[in-house]
A and B are shown apart, each in its own frame.
Chain A
Amino acid sequence: MTLDASGALRRTALYEAHLALGARMVPFGGFEMPVQYEGILKEHDAVRHRAGLFDLSHMGQFALRGGDVAAWADTLTSNTLATLEPGQARYTIFTNAQGGAHDDVIFYRLDAQRWLLVVNASNAAEMWEYLQDEVYGDVALENLHGERALIAIQGPHAWEWLQPHVEAKLAGLRYYGCVETQVRGLADPVLVARTGYTGEDGFELFLPGEDATGVWDLLLAEHRAQGLAPCGLGARDVLRLEAGMPLYGNELSEEITPLQAGLGWVVKFQKLAFRGKDALLAQREAGDYPRIAGLVMDGPVPARSGYAVYAQDARVGTIRSGSIGPSVGKNVATALVEPSAATVGTALEVEVRGARHAARVVALPFYTRPKA
């Protein structure tokens, strides 16, 4: 856990706002973060049907600058950054030599020279060390972790409720597009991106810490009565699981490769070279690796991380994430299982407190938002 010099948990710029809203605060990634306000299920429902507002300022933000950023990052990550134009964002994975993942991240390209890299809170300190060790060429790094804020607005009404407060035409911003634009009441432009971690349409605003409370309060003051709900990390985890998005440490790790996580689309083997490429090629060639499968539980008992998974009497894997799936109507889980047990439709059993409970392998994601 990242601790400051005094050993205390850090607080985001929105800490007081969370307390005023009655949030329950928990330690996460070295920060005191809201896990819920009114309740996880209500917040989940708000995001699926209206919109939710999230403080994600605990996530690591690194500013990158220079003419070699794309070429350099392409040697360390599995996706391709060389083709990324200004105004675009891309999800990629910093791989290790064995093909596992140091972190899954998003690169935002602001212009020819300037980039923003967003990393997981739990990996931010290690990633900062790693990038400093690896940097070469025309690449300058600046650590903004904890200084810059990140506010996300996610849900079918996100566009409608954010648009009145920003200058850029959000309708013209495609999924994984980003734009620097003026936000009502702020002096400096803010990076607004059409990215998120909920399975809904939505936006993320990267802004100076001192501007965060103003934007947060403005959005809630104008749209809370319409249904905009402050949402905590509890709802976010349920939303991302239903949307089939990996959580670093659960579905993806130093030991679980992107291929195993079902993220083959993020691995560009046509790239000349990147760290871990040979190991990933060998893994793809062998094809017999354990992999992440989506499980739907038949009954009411939730599967939880760490529970054993069986096919008949053979242990075939372990639950990595589990929750109720309010949008699915069943309990859902991911499990790292033997390839023979990963086929859609396979009947499996999850051991919960000594008893076996039936589950079935389904295709991920569990939930896809209705087409607008």
Chain B
Amino acid sequence: MAGVPAELLYSKEHEWVALEGDVATVGITDYAQSSLGDIVYVELPRVGVTLTQFANIGVIESVKAVSDIFTPVGGEVIGINDAIDTDPSLVNREPYGAGWLFKVKLADVGQRDELMAAPQYELLISEA
């Protein structure tokens, strides 16, 4: 699973969002994982913490570098992906699937208007 899935929303910091009602699942895009290279450690907020949209809420580490994670949505963290604790390379292999990062109960569904649709995001990365 690569590329830029049409059904997702995107941030300019290369996170994706899958919306189901007021619950958002968040991950990093295929472009982001490819740019980072082999991911070896991910630090995420705890369940129950309230995030502000676009805040710096964690880090993702590749062999060579530490990068910040900016949450594309605000609200309460209601789940984190424990599987990437034991196998961070899931984020490389399945960025849109088993390598998701966390789930947020949106404070305000209108936040989606601050995100990009797939064609806009494709344009962004094609210009990078």
Residues of A within 8 A of B (CB): 24, 35-36, 39-41, 234, 237-238, 300-302, 304, 323-324, 353
Q: B40-74 interface mask toward A, CB cutoff 8 Å, 1 = contact, 0 = none? A: 11010000000000000001010110100000000
Q: B38 touching A41 by the CB < 8 A rule?
A: yes
| Identity of the chain A residue whose Cβ is nearest the Cβ of B92 in the assembled complex | A39
Q: A35 touching B61 by the CB < 8 A rule?
A: no
Residues of B within 8 A of A (CB): 37-38, 40-41, 43, 59, 61, 63-64, 66, 85
Q: A40 touching B64 by the CB < 8 A rule?
A: yes
CB contacts (< 8 Å) of A304 on chain B: these are 66
Say whether chain A's binding surface is mostly helix, strand, loop, or mixed.
Answer: mixed
CB contacts (< 8 Å) of A39 on chain B: these are 37-38
Interchain pairs with CB closer than 8 A, number: 29
CA distance A324 to B43 in the complex (A): 16
Which of A237, A323, A324 has the most C-beta atoms of chain B within 10 angstroms of its own C-beta?
A: A324
CA distance A301 to B66 in the complex (A): 11
Nearest-Cβ distance from residue A70 to partner chain B, whole angstroms: 39
CA distance A234 to B38 in the complex (A): 11
CB contacts (< 8 Å) of B66 on chain A: these are 304
CB contacts (< 8 Å) of A324 on chain B: these are 40, 63
CB contacts (< 8 Å) of B59 on chain A: these are 353
CB contacts (< 8 Å) of A237 on chain B: these are 64
11 contacts between A and B (CB under 8 A): A36-B37, A40-B37, A40-B63, A40-B64, A41-B63, A234-B63, A237-B64, A300-B85, A304-B66, A324-B40, A353-B59
CB contacts (< 8 Å) of A301 on chain B: these are 41, 43
Nearest-Cβ distance from residue B67 to partner chain A, whole angstroms: 12
Q: A234 touching B64 by the CB < 8 A rule?
A: yes
Q: B41 touching A300 by the CB < 8 A rule?
A: yes
Contact of B38 among A24, A40, A300, A353 (CB under 8 A): A40
